[in-house]
Amino acid sequence: MTTTYFGILADGNTIEKHTLSEVNDVSEVEYRLKCVKSDAWANPPTFTIIDVKGSYLRFRIGNFEVVNIEEESPGSLGGSKNVLIKELNTGKTHSTQLETRGIEFFNRELLPLLHKLNEIGSWTMYEKLEELDRANKEIVRLKKALADCQSK
């Protein structure tokens, strides 16, 4: 098993260091992650959000807190993760699937999702906006298909 530490900067870039103190030496670090990699190639790395002392940290942005990140199964080819997010003002926990592997999972998917939820303020409203976005994309697709049919 090997352990490395990551720092996520405000601009989304990441740094990787051998020790937590090296990550802490970078003043621009907003989030710290501990990564434990198994010696077995089939086992995915495990990421834990930590504080400056290395203790487990409940990850929270505004009214939304990550309760659990279900790790990829060793045999999985896709790499998706089931993430449980609690909406603190309602006490409800919601589940979502995120797809990115490794450290990129945090700055490509998890952080943007939490910031978006915080901006919107409600999981219910977030779901409605996502549904509206899917419907708009389907309308564009159907209009294109109709135009293609009419041009033949």
Give the per-residue pLDDT at 143: 95
Q: What is the pLDDT of residues 54-78, one digit of tens each?
A: 998 888 999 999 988 876 655 555 5
- Looking at the chain, which runs of residues are DSSP E strands? 2-9, 14-17, 29-37, 46-50, 59-61, 64-70, 81-87, 92-98
- Compute the Cα dihedral for 7, 10, 61, 84 and give only its sign: negative
User: 114 falls in which pLDDT band (50, 70, 90)?
Assistant: very high
111-120 and 123-150 helices cross at what angle (nearest 10)? Answer: 100
- In angstroms, the CA 98 to CA 22 distance is 29
CA atoms within 13 A on the CB side of 130: 11
Averaged pLDDT, 3-9: 92
Nearest partner of 50 among 26, 27, 74, 23, judged by Cα: 23
pTM, to two decimals: 0.74
Q: What is the pLDDT of residues 18-56, one digit of tens each?
A: 999 999 999 899 889 898 887 766 677 778 889 999 998
Give the per-residue pLDDT at 77: 55
- In angstroms, the CA 12 to CA 29 distance is 10
- In angstroms, the CA 123 to CA 42 distance is 35
